[in-house]
Structure 1
């Protein structure tokens, strides 16, 4: 296999590019305007002007000298994979192709491929439109929300296909003994048309363990703060990402939707996800390969299933606009006083007639007496 093939984008270079696995910054030629700056471990990510489709990711100075060896091992790691796994890894990640060095810095950065254009789309918000890479964050929302920005709703089949790709890549990383740790919304792109995902920032992978950087809403409850992230941390965060993308829901709502087993064609998927998310023993969390197998309709085979903690409290039921309007109407209707009925004349009784007759007779007698006296 040539160095060009190891870069994973040979088709983009009809003339070929003999890129060694270690290259000086000067040998890369001029760099274009940065597409990203001061983001995480890098100071800049810049296009290679002479090699379209490739980027130079330049690290902050002062990195540990062992980072050069780690990068070399990472670049060479795909050599140990089967051809299908290697193809999947290069197609689905911005895997580093070469280590960049300077005279005073052996790990100044790395050369990575640019994400394919299939992961870029025009997002519309009202009268505004912006073309950009689509983050997998959108899969954690409803189909209706996705259609509102001009993207096709993925439906159950599209969500399942994207999550299968996520777990396939995670299983490959785990088989290489690498910890990614960055499973979250911002580190993967999503293509609705291809029903696929693309991982970025994979050059930060480390063997066995790495510092666990706190990420809001992605903290592993069984990995205490201050301890390293490992394969078990990766399994929890992967399951959390898959649960959100598969259900289009977030927080506790995603847990409860998974527990409702909404995927009849993948009967084991819910069980594997819940064991990854709720196992009380972190080392008994199912592997990424087991989740990938379950999402493809395979069985969940374990000699002893882990004990689970309870589901988080269910979120309050969302009230729709129609329901809310009906409630408001009912309250207003109850608050309006009932109309006062018109006053009616009381019905007369026989006793009332007798009284009237006596009054008339008395008046007549009085008039007769007055007449006689005159």
Structure 2
């Protein structure tokens, strides 16, 4: 079976506003909508975030959002959005269900006179991705970012979430890589693999990918993301499928190990998953290959996380050395005065016994006894 691949002309009706999208998410809507077709919009739940000026709920359609773009979008964005909206129709039914359940995939393009890409209609993340987070005496119900999986079980329990354990981390990463593999099969670059662009449900052990309406075919500008820079994608060049593979591997390594820095690399290399050594091998090839085009695919990582083998499609890549571990902060030392050894008090010099009145009378008595003895001897 030929794998689906999103290309121009994949759906001749992609921009046909009269053709409703085959979308199982509860609202049969046309693939293009005028701003006036949206009905009243509620107050923004997000503003000036990335390419969007605002994300506003549709009051007549609970569970749906209008993501409104900045006015300086590229002229081709309308066509790109139409391709994304039609893309699920090219997938097998099972993959289409996974994509809809695990992402806020755009359902319709919003337009107005003079602007064909005002924004898009997207579903709101399901309620299962919200949880009550405790911080001291306060608590806040909010979406749980996948950021939390890159922390220890103890830290996760500390905010009132159930600790995932190895099984929970594995299940979440399986779903994450399953979504990545579908995007890769569609020929789409996501680039934005990071802590802030996916939600995590500890109870359902699942993840939900957001900002997928920014996906582009084959390549896209590589926006700088602190701590997520691909060492083999030079600054100023585009992100592509190989950039995606590195960032996906980095995200999975951090979530699987609960480590946020170079310790994640070392933990993976230590092969803690003795029953699934393929996971370690795939991740190390993704993260340390010296040839970016030899990085394993998202599908290979997904297969390894599901207990399958790691079947390399290219010769084993040469790997770079593990990154240096971060230096441990120095142990706090007490002030200099406190570090001086405790000295024993010097012994007081011995003193001659004091001669008090009682000692004087004893001496007189002794002398008297001696004199009496001498007088008695002369008689």
Q: Give the alignment's TM-score, normalised by structure 2.
A: 0.83
Shift of 1:80: 1.1
Q: Following the alignment from structure 1 to structure 2, what is the Cα–Cα distance between the partners of residues 72 and 23?
A: 12
Q: How does 1:180-259 map to 2 (within 5 A)?
A: 180-259=190-269
Deviation of 1:338 (Å): 4.9
Deviation at 1:61, TM superposition (A): 0.6
Distance 1:31 1:3 in 2: 24
- The answer to whether the 8 Å contact 2:21/2:29 transfers is no
Q: Which residue, 287, 290, 293 being the options, matches 1:280?
A: 290
Question: Residue 267 of structure 1: CA displacement?
Answer: 1.3
CA separation in 2, counterparts of 1:79 and 1:124?
42
1:109 maps to 119
TM-score, with structure 1 as normaliser: 0.84
Q: Structure 1 residue 6 and structure 2 residue 22: aligned?
A: yes
Q: CA deviation at 1:222?
A: 0.4
Look up the SS of the partner of 1:275 in the other structure.
Answer: helix
Q: Classify 1:243/1:221 alpha carbon distance in 2 versus 1 (closer, same or farther; 3 Å).
A: same
- Please state if 1:146 is matched with 2:162: no
Mapped contact 1:48–1:56 kept (Cα < 8 A): yes
Deviation at 1:315, TM superposition (A): 2.9
Structure 1 equivalent of residue 137 of structure 2: 127
5+ residue gaps, structure 1, are 11-16, 346-374
Distance in 2 separating the partners of 1:276 and 1:338: 63
Q: After the TM superposition, which parts of structure 1 deviate over 4 Å for at least 4 consecutive aligned residues? A: 2-5, 331-334, 338-345
Name the SS for the 2:277 alignment partner: coil
> 2:343: which partner in 1?
337
Q: Bigger shift: 128-137 or 298-307?
A: 298-307
Deviations 1:206-253, CA, capped at 9 Å, x for gaps: 000000000000000000110000000000000000000000001111
Query: Does the CA contact (< 8 Å) of 2:35 and 2:112 recur in 1?
Result: yes
Cα distance in 2 between the residues matched to 1:167 and 1:343: 82
Deviation for aligned residue 1:22: 0.7
- Please say if residues 137 and 185 of structure 1, whose CA atoms lie closer than 8 Å, have aligned partners that are also in contact: yes
State whether residues 119 and 133 of structure 1, in contact with CA within 8 Å, keep that contact through their aligned partners in structure 2. yes
Q: Gaps (5+ residues) in structure 2?
A: 1-17, 352-379
> Contact between 2:22 and 2:28, CA under 8 Å: does it hold in 1?
no
Q: Distance in 1 between matches of 2:153 and 2:163?
A: 5
**Alignment root-mean-square deviation, CA:** 2.2
Tell me, yes or no, if the aligned pair for 1:275 and 1:286 is still in contact at 8 Å: yes
Q: Give the match for residue 315 of structure 1.
A: 326
User: Who is 2:355 aligned against?
Assistant: none
Distance 1:305 1:342, change over 3 A: farther
Equivalent residue in structure 2 for 1:304, among 308, 315, 319: 315
Asked if structure 2 preserves the Cα contact closer than 8 Å seen for 1:8 and 1:91, the reply is no
Displacement of 1:335: 2.1
Q: Which residue of 2 aligns with 1:22?
A: 32
What is the aligned partner in structure 1 of residue 50 from structure 2?
40
Q: CA deviation at 1:4?
A: 7.2
